[in-house]
Each structure stands twice: as structure tokens, then as C-alpha cells.
Structure 1
């Protein structure tokens, strides 16, 4: 798994106020349809989602090394702090594809997804919990999430650059049309591709043949997803 979780990052931030002009990404999200899960399913899902971020995976086979602080709050909501804003969209998609590809103990598909608001900006301070932290990126993300229920896309971005926001959010509306057609198996392949696994490695992990992985990736329009990630990274890079 790609993500290096650093809960120690919170402790380091708590030592002092962030006063630099560095840009951060804050992801604030709600799990969609969580009320349709029973208590055991909800707890299992939240626990597995948190586990994406709480293990040191430096020995993993992928080349993404990200510092991500992740926190569940209010039962079915979450917040994440990322010091590399260029990877925020990738992290948001990893969360969504992970949720979309999960299966419950009795093999009933859990119709879970996430609504995620990405705020990019400065951070004034980080406290013991992200929910109580402050800064431009936190404000952008929190306010944006409140408006997402009325929007066709389930991922959106807010930064200091309206032109950037308009381009990315327009693309995200189009992306939603692609995501809405994914099966759980296709979402699973995209989940691993987002972590830079090769199709051969994904086939080994899922115990299927490589052509099946390639077919699922094509059906999921992976090339379009990859292009959008590259364009987003280009736009957000100073």
C-alpha cells in the first residue's frame, strides 16, 4: 500500500504555529450511504479506511511516498492533511475507490462512496485533532463540503486561484460521469493503479490473469483518470 501515515506529524505541528507560506491540502469528507450499513459493517469500513493511513509502508512496491495525516470524526466523516497539494486528488480518488471496492463479510456489496472537498492554502496551526485546527486550507475545505451535496460531482477543489478551481471542478464533473459507471471490480483495479502498481502486480494481488486487469482498467477509462491527475498536478505545482 502506498501511503506512509504520520500521526507524529500532528505532534510536530502542535509544537508551534505554522508561519511559513507553504501550501497544504486539506481533504474533508463524508462517507455516502453509511446509514444503510449495519453497525458491524460501518465499524469495519471505518476501521479499514483508517488502516490505509496508519501503517508505515516504506517497503511497499510503489514509488509514491506521501505524508498523510488522517482522522475520523462525527462517526462517518473524515479529514486529512497533506503537505503535498499536488497529490490531493490522487488521495481523494484512493479513498473513493477503496470504499467502492469493499465487500462485507457476507459478500454483500457495500454501496459506499465518499463526498470529498479539497482545500488548498496556508495552515495557521494544527492542534491535537484536525477538526480543531485552523488555516485557509481548513476553511476552504470545510465550507466547500457544505455545498457538495447540491453538486453533480463528489470531489471538488477550492484554492486562492478561481481559474484553477474552475478548470479542475469542470473536469471533476466529467470525471463523475466515468466514476458513476464503475463496478466494484473496476474500482478495485483503479485503486491499485492509483498506487502505481503494474498490471502484472495487480493480477498477482487479485489472483486473476493480467489481461483481465487490463480489460477492467480500460472499462474504467483509466487513461482519462491518469490524464486528469497529470493535469491537476501541473496546475497545482507553483
Structure 2
């Protein structure tokens, strides 16, 4: 048995965006993989272009990969179909960690535990008006994670595009001075955006997440 993480995700209200502009945002999933989100050789299942599922054996980095996805889309603005101007994109993310007998080559045809947990939670998110959930096979931890994710949802909802943009780079390990250079900002401006995005709370959540997955 091997412990793996599965992320299931879909774009909220994707039909309101211009299709060609929306598709351009999905290059984060494209092959050849090897970027921060998907390591080379890790399968990605895409459906309809607005929903996808991916797996990783790097479970200790899976929470930050979910944050990477959240910030990647929330920093985007895409043209709207029915009116002029652009709209911001948001995404539902269901992260699950569990045991798998094998590492499946076709993740669209597996019923291994973490895939079932992640997909089932994603199906429930729209009804519960959630955009970020973490699930394990242990109910005692799930209750704690549900509450923590409710606070994270509120945090993400308050992100501006500018704040999401700096988190997108920060979660990949870029230093503040490097981010400042990439975005043509001063280092104090980057630092301010990081604080406003509540990065310190995200780091604390990751610490607790790592403690939990060590026990399951």
C-alpha cells in the first residue's frame, strides 16, 4: 500500500467565460509536465476542459500544490461571454490523502480510496457552497479539516488578484526579492501583499496538515 494525494477540481461558473480565453488558462495542466503542479509521469485526467483530477506521490507537498492551483486561477481574469469586460476565475478544489494498492496509470478508471474520497467530496462542494476541502479516511481528522477549510475558504474569498499573484510565486519557493523583480514591484509591496493574503495562516495550516498525514 502506498500513500498518495489526489486533487479533484472544477472551475466555478465556467460557462460564463469566453471559451477561447478560458482554455488558455488551462496550460498549467499541459504536457510536457514537470512544472510545480505536476511532475513528469504523473497522470492528469481532464474532463470538458473545466474540470480535472491529478495525483501525486509527493503527499508532503500536496497541500501547497492545492494552494498553487487556487492562486493560479484567482490571479486570472478572462473575457465574459454575455457582456463586455473580464471576470475573475475561481476553482473548487478537493484534496484527499489515502492509501492505494497500486499507482494507477489511468486515473479515470480506478476506485482506489483517495480517488473516491476526492471525487465524492468535490461532488458535495457545490451544495455546501465550499471551494476548498481536505479529506482523509479518518473521520476524526476530517472534522478538524472541515473546520480549518471553512476558515481557508473565507481567506481565499478575500484575496485580490494582486495578492493571489504573489502567493502563486511564493508557494513555489520564490523569495520576496525574486517576486518583486518578476512583478516589477518593490520588496515592501510584495511583503505587504503576502501579509494581506494571510500567508502565515496558510503555512500554519500546512504544518498541521503534515502532522495529520503522518498519522493516517
TM-score range, shorter chain: 0.7 to 0.9
CA displacement 1:91-140 (0-9 Å, x = unmatched): 1111111001024489x544211111122222245555322223111111
1:49 and 2:28 correspond: yes
| Contact 2:44–2:53 (Cα < 8 Å) also in 1 | yes
CA displacement 1:32-64 (0-9 Å, x = unmatched): 121111121122122x2314x74435xx9xxx9
> What secondary structure, in the 3-state scheme, does the structure 2 residue paired with 1:153 have?
coil
Q: 1:153 aligns with which of 130, 145, 166?
A: 130
Paired position in structure 2 for 1:13: none
Q: TM-score, normalised by structure 1?
A: 0.79
| Contact 1:50–1:71 (Cα < 8 Å) also in 2 | no
Paired position in structure 1 for 2:56: 82
Separation in structure 1 between the aligned mates of residue 204 and residue 51 of structure 2, nearest angstrom: 29
CA-based RMSD: 2.5
Alpha-carbon shift at residue 152 of structure 1 (Å): 4.1
Q: TM-score, normalised by structure 2?
A: 0.87
Q: How does 1:189-204 map to 2 (within 5 A)?
A: 189-204=166-181
Separation in structure 2 between the aligned mates of residue 207 and residue 22 of structure 1, nearest angstrom: 43
> What secondary structure, in the 3-state scheme, does the structure 1 residue paired with 2:174 have?
coil
Unaligned runs of 5+ in 2: none
| Contact 1:26–1:81 (Cα < 8 Å) also in 2 | yes
Paired position in structure 2 for 1:228: 205
- Tell me the number of residue pairs that the alignment of Structure 1 and Structure 2 aligns: 211
Paired position in structure 1 for 2:2: 22
Separation in structure 2 between the aligned mates of residue 155 and residue 105 of structure 1, nearest angstrom: 24
Rate the CA distance shift 1:65–1:142 in 2: closer, same or farther, 3 A.
Answer: closer
CA displacement 1:168-208 (0-9 Å, x = unmatched): 12111011111111100100111111112110111111111
Separation in structure 1 between the aligned mates of residue 154 and residue 38 of structure 2, nearest angstrom: 30
> What secondary structure, in the 3-state scheme, does the structure 1 residue paired with 2:88 have?
coil
Rate the CA distance shift 1:65–1:156 in 2: closer, same or farther, 3 A.
Answer: closer
Which runs of 4 or more aligned residues in structure 1 lie more than 6 Å from their structure 2 counterparts after TM superposition?
none
Unaligned runs of 5+ in 1: 1-20
> What secondary structure, in the 3-state scheme, does the structure 2 residue paired with 1:25 have?
strand
